[in-house]
């Protein structure tokens, strides 16, 4: 790892500087150039652009920072890609500190631990395959090479399972780093709704068994600090108490290292999962003493709210001479959904305050639920309504707007992936508030704010080089097939034509039109496993439609629904239709693939 420059200060000093000053002073170290990858790893050169993905979770917009220096191995290149996308430029020179230990600055919520990867890999035991495949999965996820990322993801899970069963074969820090990589890959790939929480539960069990004393110093402490927020967010989402609320877990892991702004906030909300669990039990219970439980729980939620308010007050006192956030005009349009946005002192402050707002909203929603429950059960909480003003619908909407007004700062190109990824939890809470309050305009803004504005047709034409580079993808209308996730390397522009089965005969008209307007350089035919047309047959559809419209029986009998008996054969048939068409150029490139829904792999089909 000689390619990485060494810093002239140790990681402990760097961490203390961030924690002591809340990261307000900028580093005077000049950021090093971003490494470059071999062309075989990088693929065709193209400009970074906003990413639009259809996933189970919310879409996030980001620009990928490519590596631009030659590396001896693919693993070194992918580690560089990960670090460049999850680390502020001024911190990349601290990837390896002068004392030989990795520097992990707790200066942001998401990905602060990635600078540890070079050292963990260098110290890995005889069997480094688990972490190696996890790095591949995360690196390829960032590069939008979804098939390779999914394949490495599956390999990692298989190796991790066998490694956990073999004591001593893989170090504990390797296991944690592996699961951290998989968690971030899951967030980027969105293969399953909240799939990242499964990894969080696994880490929680491993960390709890190890005990708080194991995370006082070194790499394990830095990994723990980097993953602590994921563990608590997972517990809040699952609404189950967390061991992280125990006093020992708040003190021992930080006995040798200072806490950052975010770590201090996590101390204050570590008891929230337990309160949510109790709320669910009370809501579904019919016990005799439920009224007393409602009153007791209300007091505890009230105490939790006061703790957060005290945290905010102490923050203002400790930073009295510094401005942490300030509003700026985001649009000259007075009718804009959010005419202002917030600027922050740094990304750590932005991450922390936006999460603080979201935690306050969760508590306010819970208190409102308790109030409704107390009225239903006849519990007397009149003397406890300290928070009535703060839990008003107007106040909740105001906090949700504050979260939205912090998005512009988080989505700046220079924040790579660590900015957008940190918005997922707060923006989801804000969206819940707007939906409950029927704020349609704000909901539309949230759904659209993660996407880049679309160019006009003339701008699109102007962006194409001579000879055209539009790639047409003919595929099924099945929503599980997402070509933009795995075809980024085929051309500058990808245009999809969808129909049942992804049949070329029905797509031919669209291809001809696009070719005449923009020019088409290639057509890609993709059929997929578990397709509806592999299960439906013409005879069945003829019979079913004839029952619905018996007067059209003769017309129905002539219909060909293009049933698929063999996937490879259907792809070859469609490729031939395109190549033989007299209305398309003879030099038009035509490719064919079968997409495996389960594995995400593309199988090349040749005529």
Q: Is 478 annotated as a binding residue?
A: yes
Nearest to 125 by CA among 78, 77, 174, 164: 174
Q: Is 531 annotated as a binding residue?
A: yes
Nearest to 92 by CA among 115, 108, 69, 62: 115
Report the distance separating Cα 77 and Cα 136, nearest Å.
Answer: 10
Sign (positive/negative) of CA torsion 167, 168, 174, 176? positive
Report the distance separating Cα 549 and Cα 540, nearest Å.
Answer: 14
Report the distance separating Cα 136 and Cα 151, nearest Å.
Answer: 9
Q: Is 13 annotated as a binding residue?
A: no
Sign (positive/negative) of CA torsion 195, 443, 456, 328? negative
Report the distance separating Cα 369 and Cα 364, nearest Å.
Answer: 9
Q: Is 137 exposed, middle or buried (0-12, 13-18, 19+ CB in 10 A)?
A: buried
Q: Using the 8-state DSSP alphabet, how is residue 7 labeled?
A: P
Report the distance separating Cα 129 and Cα 157, nearest Å.
Answer: 11
Q: Is 127 annotated as a binding residue?
A: no
Distances (CA, A) of 301 to 108, 167, 360: 28, 43, 11
Q: Using the 8-state DSSP alphabet, how is residue 241 labeled?
A: -
Nearest to 105 by CA among 115, 96, 119: 115
Nearest to 312 by CA among 214, 390, 233, 407: 390
Q: Which residues are annotated as a binding site for Zn(2+)?
A: 476, 478, 528, 531
Q: Which residues are annotated as a binding site?
A: 476, 478, 528, 531
């Amino acid at each position: 790892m000689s390619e990485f420059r060494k810093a002239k200060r140790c990681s402990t000093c760097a961490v203390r500087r961030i924690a002591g000053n809340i990261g307000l002073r900028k580093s005077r170290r000049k950021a090093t150039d971003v490494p470059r990858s071999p062309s075989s790893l990088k693929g065709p050169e193209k400009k970074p652009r906003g990413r639009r993905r259809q996933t189970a979770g919310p879409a996030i917009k980001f620009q990928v920072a490519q590596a631009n220096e030659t590396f001896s191995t693919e693993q070194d290149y992918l580690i560089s890609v990960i670090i460049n996308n999850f680390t502020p430029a001024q911190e990349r020179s601290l990837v390896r500190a002068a004392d030989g230990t990795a520097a992990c600055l707790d200066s942001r919520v998401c990905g602060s631990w990635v600078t540890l990867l070079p050292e963990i890999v260098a110290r890995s035991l005889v069997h480094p395959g688990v972490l190696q495949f996890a790095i591949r999965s995360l690196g390829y996820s960032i590069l939008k090479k979804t098939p390779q990322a999914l394949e490495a993801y599956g390999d990692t899970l298989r190796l991790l399972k066998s490694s956990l069963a073999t004591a001593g074969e893989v170090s504990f820090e390797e296991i944690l780093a592996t699961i951290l990589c998989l968690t971030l890959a899951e967030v980027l790939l969105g293969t399953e709704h909240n799939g990242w929480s499964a990894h969080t539960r696994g880490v929680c069990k491993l960390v709890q068994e190890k005990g708080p004393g194991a995370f006082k110093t070194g790499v394990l402490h830095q990994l723990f600090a980097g993953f602590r927020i994921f563990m608590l967010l997972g517990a809040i989402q699952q609404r189950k108490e967390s061991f992280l609320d125990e006093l020992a877990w708040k003190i021992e892991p930080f006995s040798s290292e200072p806490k950052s702004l975010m770590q201090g906030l996590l101390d204050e909300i570590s008891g929230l999962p337990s309160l949510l669990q109790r709320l669910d039990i009370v809501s579904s219970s019919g016990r005799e003493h439920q009224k007393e439980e409602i009153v007791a729980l209300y007091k505890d939620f009230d105490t939790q709210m006061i703790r957060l308010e005290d945290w905010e007050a102490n923050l203002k006192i400790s930073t009295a001479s510094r401005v942490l956030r300030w509003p700026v005009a985001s649009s000259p349009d007075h009718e804009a959904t959010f005419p202002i946005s917030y600027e922050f002192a740094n990304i750590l402050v932005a991450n922390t305050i936006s999460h603080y707002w979201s935690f306050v909203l969760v508590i306010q929603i819970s208190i409102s639920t308790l109030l409704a429950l107390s009225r239903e059960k006849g519990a007397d909480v009149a003397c406890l309504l300290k928070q009535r003003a703060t839990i008003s619908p107007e106040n909740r909407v105001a906090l949700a707007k504050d979260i939205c007004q912090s998005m512009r700062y988080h989505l700046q190109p220079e924040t790579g992936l660590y900015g957008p990824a940190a918005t997922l939890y707060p923006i989801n809470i804000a969206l819940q508030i707007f939906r409950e309050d029927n704020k349609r305009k704000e909901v539309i803004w949230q759904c659209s704010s993660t996407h880049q504005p679309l160019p006009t047709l003339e701008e699109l034409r102007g962006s194409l080089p001579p000879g055209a580079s539009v790639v047409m993808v003919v595929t099924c209308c099945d929503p599980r097939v997402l070509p933009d996730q795995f075809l980024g390397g085929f051309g500058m522009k990808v245009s999809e034509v969808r129909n049942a089965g992804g049949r070329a005969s029905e797509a031919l008209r669209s291809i001809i039109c696009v070719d005449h307007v923009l020019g088409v350089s290639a057509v890609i035919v993709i059929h997929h496993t578990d397709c509806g047309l592999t299960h439906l047959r013409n005879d069945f559809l003829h019979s079913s439609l004839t029952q619905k419209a018996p007067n059209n029986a003769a017309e129905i009998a002539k219909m060909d629904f293009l049933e698929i008996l063999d996937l490879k054969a259907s792809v070859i048939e469609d490729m031939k239709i395109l190549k033989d068409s007299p209305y398309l150029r003879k030099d038009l490139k035509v490719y064919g693939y079968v997409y495996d829904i389960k594995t995400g792999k593309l199988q090349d089909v040749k005529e």
